[in-house]
């Protein structure tokens, strides 16, 4: 199969290239040539800017295309309309952020999605990201009608993740000592290994599946306790988890998702209970959690010194641990 990937040299894109190549497909990349330009020397690379320079895509034929980096409907519409008559199948990677925050636990592909009062808005921020993805999906579906596959991943994790949201935990726990753990230990969490996601997407394209699919994991309920205890088991069994309740953390100014990644408050637990039965029924499978943790840590240990994009500094974490323990001692004296 001749496969065009828009993007293809960062995180999900690079795993997608590797998954497609492993299955014998002929891959072409279209991007600006700025991120990891030397990553895939054996792969054809077309350079242009999808905002205003799609010329390299004209007069070319592919059997399928995957858009890994579409965020603004107007921009996504350009490539979708240009390629509508030259590809048989179009995959758009969206996000579970499309869903309205007031959806109940267990939301599925038919649950209500977010909207914008002004659909001409193009500024991407915490409030607009999801609704803009909704409009991107619609742009692809209008251009490709019954040839569009929409994938809505949750938090994507694993080697080469530039966000550090998952990587923070294996990295921190590997360094040992007492580790601050957030909120209710039995609260659910969800994420998907980029390699599981991309290998499944390639198989979905091969079968020419269409429609909308949530894609996060694992297949059964995962709690923060099990996730972090698995990190301890894999990364450093001498580490010790100290659980601080979410009221203390929020009052201390600790930001869910950012300062302590993967964790969300109990009021937002619905965001970590997305129903993925449709994708699992279509063949989505998941690596063992320990494998994702181990491989992420191994990759992290190959990196040069980095400026972390998520997680607490060690000094801030230790300060919070002292404050939490002092609060516990005060509570014990008052009882």
Kindly give the residue spans of alpha helices, DSSP state H, lying in 181-276: 194-206, 224-235, 246-251
Q: E strands of 35-153, at which residues?
A: 44-47, 64-67, 89-93, 148-153
Residue 334 lies in a domain: no
Instruction: Rounding to the nearest 10 degrees, give the CA dihedral for residues 314, 317, 321, 326.
Output: 110
Q: Are residues 146 and 253 both part of a single domain?
A: no
Asked whether residue 185 falls in the same domain as residue 298, the answer is yes
Q: Indicate if 184 and 102 belong to the same structural domain.
A: no
Do both 117 and 27 map to the same domain?
yes
Enter the DSSP assignment of 103: P
Q: Is residue 43 part of a domain?
A: yes
| Shared-domain flag, residues 120 and 251 | no
Task: Compute CA distances 229 → 6, 105, 238, 239, whole Å.
Answer: 38, 25, 11, 10
Structure tokens at 41: 């020397």
> Tokens representing 302?
């190959």
Question: How far apart (Å, rounded) are the C-alpha atoms in residues 273 and 230?
Answer: 20
Residues 120 and 179 in one domain: no
The residues facing 130 across adjacent strands are none
Question: Which pLDDT belongs to residue 306?
Answer: 83
- 61-96 burial, b if ≥16 CB within 10 A, otherwise e? ebbbbbbbbbebbebbbbbbebbbeebebbbbbbbb
Give how far the C-alpha of residue 28 lies from the chain's centroid of Cα atoms, to the nearest Å.
23
For residue 70, what is the domain's CATH number? 3.40.50.720
129 within domain boundaries: yes
In a domain, 161, yes or no: no
Over its C-alpha atoms, the chain yields an Rg (Å, rounded) of: 21
* Secondary structure class of 50 (helix, strand, coil): coil
Report the candidate in 320, 175, 204 with the shortest Cα–Cα distance to residue 255: 320
- Whether 279 is in a domain gets the answer no
60 and 181 assigned to the same domain = no
Q: How many domains are there within the chain?
A: 2
With b for 16 or more beta-carbon neighbours within 10 A and e for fewer, the 245-273 pattern comes to: ebebbeeeebebeebbbbbbbeeeebbbb
> Tokens 């603004």, residue?
72
CA angle 173, 188, 317 (to 5 degrees): 35
- Residue 332 domain-assigned (yes or no): no
pLDDT tens track of the chain, all 335 residues?
999 999 999 999 999 999 999 999 999 999 999 889 999 999 999 999 999 999 999 999 999 999 999 999 999 999 999 999 999 999 999 999 999 989 999 999 999 999 999 999 999 999 999 999 999 999 999 999 999 999 999 999 999 999 999 999 999 999 999 999 999 999 999 999 999 999 999 999 999 999 999 999 999 999 999 999 999 999 999 999 999 999 999 999 999 999 999 999 988 888 899 999 999 999 999 999 999 999 999 999 999 888 999 999 999 999 999 999 998 766 655 55
**pLDDT at 270 (0 to 100):** 86
Beta-sheet pairing, 222-223 with 188-189: antiparallel
Q: How many CB atoms lie within 10 A of CB 310?
A: 18
241/146 same-domain check: no
Closest CA to 180 of 333, 331, 315, 332: 315
Mark whether 8 and 149 lie in a shared domain: yes
Any idea what the CATH number is for the domain that residue 248 is in? 3.90.25.10
Q: Residue 274 domain-assigned?
A: no
Distance CA 148, CA 144 (A): 6
How many other CB atoms are there within 10 angstroms of residue 304's CB atom?
A: 4
Q: Which of 108, 125, 153 is the last residue of a domain?
A: 153
What residues contact residue 175 under an 8 Å CB cut-off, 6+ apart? 236, 239, 314
Instruction: Print the domain residue range for 31.
Output: 2-153
> Could you tell me if 230 and 109 lie in one domain?
no
pTM summary value: 0.96
Residue 200 has what pLDDT? 98
Do the domain assignments include residue 262? yes
Q: Are residues 49 and 145 in the same domain?
A: yes
Q: Are residues 36 and 89 in the same domain?
A: yes
């Amino acid at each position: 199969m001749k496969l065009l990937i828009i993007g293809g040299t960062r995180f999900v894109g690079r795993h997608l290239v590797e998954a497609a190549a492993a299955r014998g497909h002929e891959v072409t990349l279209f991007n600006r040539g700025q991120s990891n330009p030397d990553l895939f020397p054996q792969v054809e690379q077309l350079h242009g800017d999808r905002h205003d320079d799609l010329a390299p895509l004209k007069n070319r034929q592919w059997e399928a295309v995957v858009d890994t980096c579409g965020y603004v409907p107007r921009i996504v519409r350009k490539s979708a309309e240009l390629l509508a008559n030259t590809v048989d199948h179009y995959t758009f990677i969206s996000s579970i952020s499309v869903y309205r925050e007031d959806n109940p636990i267990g939301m599925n592909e038919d649950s209500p999605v977010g909207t914008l009062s002004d659909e001409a808005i193009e500024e991407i921020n915490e409030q607009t990201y999801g609704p803009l993805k909704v409009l991107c999906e619609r742009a692809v579906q209008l251009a490709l009608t019954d040839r569009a596959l929409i994938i809505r991943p949750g938090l994507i994790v694993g080697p080469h993740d530039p966000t550090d949201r998952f990587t923070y935990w294996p990295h921190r726990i590997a360094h040992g000592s007492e580790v601050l753990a957030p909120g209710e230990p039995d609260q659910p969490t969800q994420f998907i290994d980029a390699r599981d996601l991309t290998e499944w997407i390639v198989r979905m394209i091969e079968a020419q599946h269409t429609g909308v699919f949530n894609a996060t994991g694992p297949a059964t309920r995962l709690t923060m306790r099990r996730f972090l205890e698995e990190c301890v088991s894999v990364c450093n069994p001498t580490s010790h988890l100290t659980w601080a309740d979410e009221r203390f953390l929020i009052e201390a100014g600790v930001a869910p998702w950012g300062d302590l990644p993967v964790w969300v408050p109990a009021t937002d637990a619905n965001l970590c209970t997305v129903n993925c039965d449709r994708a699992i029924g279509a063949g989505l499978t998941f690596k063992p959690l320990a494998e994702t943790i181990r491989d992420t840590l191994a990759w992290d240990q190959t990196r040069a010194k980095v400026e972390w994009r998520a997680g607490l500094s060690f000094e801030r974490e230790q300060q919070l641990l002292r404050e939490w323990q002092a609060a516990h001692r005060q509570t014990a004296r008052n009882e």
